[in-house]
Amino acid sequence: MLLATLAHVSQEVAATSARSRKIALLAGLFRAAGPADVPVVIPWLAGRLPQGRIGVGWQALKDPVPAADTATLTIREADDAVTALAAVAGPGSQAERRRLVQALLGAATGEEQRFLIALLSGEVRQGALDAVAGEALAQATGAPSADVRRAVMLAGSLQSVAERLLADGPDALAEFRLTVGRPVLPMLARTAGSVAEAVEKLAPCAVEEKLDGIRVQVHRRGDAVRVYTRTLDDITDRLPEVTAAALALEGDRLILDGEVIALDADGRPRPFQEVAGRVGSRTDVAAAAVAVPLSPVFFDVLAADGEDLLDLSYAERRTTLDRLVPEPMRVRRVVAPAPDSAEAAEFWRATLGRGHEGVVIKALDTPYSAGRRGAGWVKVKPVHTLDLVVLAAEWGHGRRTGRLSNLHLGARQPDGSFVMLGKTFKGLTDAMLEWQTTRLKELALDDDGFTVRVRPELVVEIAYDGLQRSTRYPAGVTLRFARVLRHREDKRAEDADTVETVLGT
Per CB under 7 A, which of residues 324..363 are in contact with DNA?
A: none
Which of 76, 396, 457, 498 forms a contact with DNA (CB under 7 A)? 396
Q: Is the dihedral of CA 321, 325, 328, 330 positive or negative?
A: negative
Please give the size of the binding site for DNA, defined by CB under 7 A. Answer: 91
How many angstroms from the chain centroid is the CA of residue 465? 17
Which of 470, 475, 488, 498 forms a contact with DNA (CB under 7 A)? 470
230 is in an annotated binding site: yes
Name, in order, each residue with C-beta under 8 angstroms of 502's C-beta and a sequence gap of 6 or more.
386, 411, 421, 467, 475, 477
Which of 373, 402, 445, 494 forms a contact with DNA (CB under 7 A)? 373
Q: How far is the CB of 195 from DNA (least distance, A)?
A: 15
Nearer to DNA, 53 or 264 (CB): 53
Per CB under 7 A, which of residues 134..153 are in contact with DNA?
A: 149
Q: Are 56 and 96 in contact (CB under 8 A)?
A: no
In degrees, to the nearest 5, what angle opens at C-alpha 99 toward C-alphas 115 and 45? 20
CA distances from 307 to 311, 312, 323, 368 (A): 11, 11, 15, 14
Nearer to DNA, 131 or 289 (CB): 131
Per CB under 7 A, which of residues 177..196 are in contact with DNA?
A: 191
Q: How far is the CB of 168 from DNA (least distance, A)?
A: 24
* DSSP string over 175-227: G----TTS--PPPEEEE-S-HHHHHHHH-SEEEEEE--SEEEEEEEETTEEEE
Task: Verify binding: residue 475, DNA, rule CB under 7 A.
Answer: no
Which of 26, 78, 132, 361 forms a contact with DNA (CB under 7 A)? 132
Per CB under 7 A, which of residues 204..263 are in contact with DNA?
A: 212, 214-215, 229-231, 233, 235
299 is in an annotated binding site: yes
Name, in order, each residue with C-beta under 8 angstroms of 72's C-beta and a sequence gap of 6 or more.
2, 107
Nearer to DNA, 60 or 458 (CB): 60
Q: How far is the CB of 474 from DNA (least distance, A)?
A: 11
CA dihedral 436, 437, 443, 445 (to 10 degrees): 140
Q: How far is the CB of 18 from DNA (least distance, A)?
A: 4
Distance CA 210, CA 264 (A): 17
Q: How far is the CB of 222 from DNA (least distance, A)?
A: 25
Which of 99, 399, 441, 492 forms a contact with DNA (CB under 7 A)? 399
Nearer to DNA, 282 or 349 (CB): 282
Per CB under 7 A, which of residues 420..449 are in contact with DNA?
A: 422-431
Task: Verify binding: residue 157, DNA, rule CB under 7 A.
Answer: no
Nearer to DNA, 73 or 378 (CB): 378
Q: Is the dihedral of CA 351, 291, 327, 239 positive or negative?
A: positive
Q: Are 252 and 212 in contact (CB under 8 A)?
A: no
* DSSP string over 415-443: TS-EEEEEEE-TT--HHHHHHHHHHHHHT
Determine the interface stretch with DNA among 131-139, 306-314, 330-338, 340-348 (rule: CB under 7 A): 131-139
Q: Binding pattern to DNA, positions 88-117, x when CB under 7 A?
A: -xxxxxxx----------------------
Cis peptide before 269 (omega within 30 of 0): no
Determine the interface stretch with DNA among 68-76, 85-93, 104-112, 320-328 (rule: CB under 7 A): 85-93
Q: How far is the CB of 109 from DNA (least distance, A)?
A: 22
The pairing of beta strand 384-395 with beta strand 451-454: antiparallel
Nearer to DNA, 7 or 304 (CB): 7
The question of whether 210 is a catalytic residue gets the answer yes
Nearer to DNA, 35 or 91 (CB): 91
Task: Verify binding: residue 52, DNA, rule CB under 7 A.
Answer: yes
Q: For the chain, how many residues are written?
A: 505
323 is in an annotated binding site: no
Task: Verify binding: residue 15, DNA, rule CB under 7 A.
Answer: no
**Crossing angle between the packed helical segments 145-155 and 130-141, to the nearest 10 degrees:** 130
31 is in an annotated binding site: no
Q: Binding pattern to DNA, positions 262-301, x when CB under 7 A?
A: ----------xx--xx-xxxxxx-----------------
Nearer to DNA, 284 or 494 (CB): 284
CA distance from start to end of the chain: 59
Q: Are 63 and 102 in contact (CB under 8 A)?
A: yes
From the candidates 210, 362, 381, 423, which is the catalytic residue?
Answer: 210
373 is in an annotated binding site: yes
Q: Where do the H-state alpha helices sit in 16-169?
A: 19-32, 38-45, 58-61, 75-87, 93-106, 110-120, 130-141, 145-155, 158-168
Which of 303, 478, 496, 499 forms a contact with DNA (CB under 7 A)? 478
Distance CA 250, CA 272 (A): 30
Which of 182, 439, 483, 491 forms a contact with DNA (CB under 7 A)? 483
Give the residue numbers marked as catalytic.
210
**Binding-site positions for ATP:** 208, 215, 230, 259, 299, 373, 379
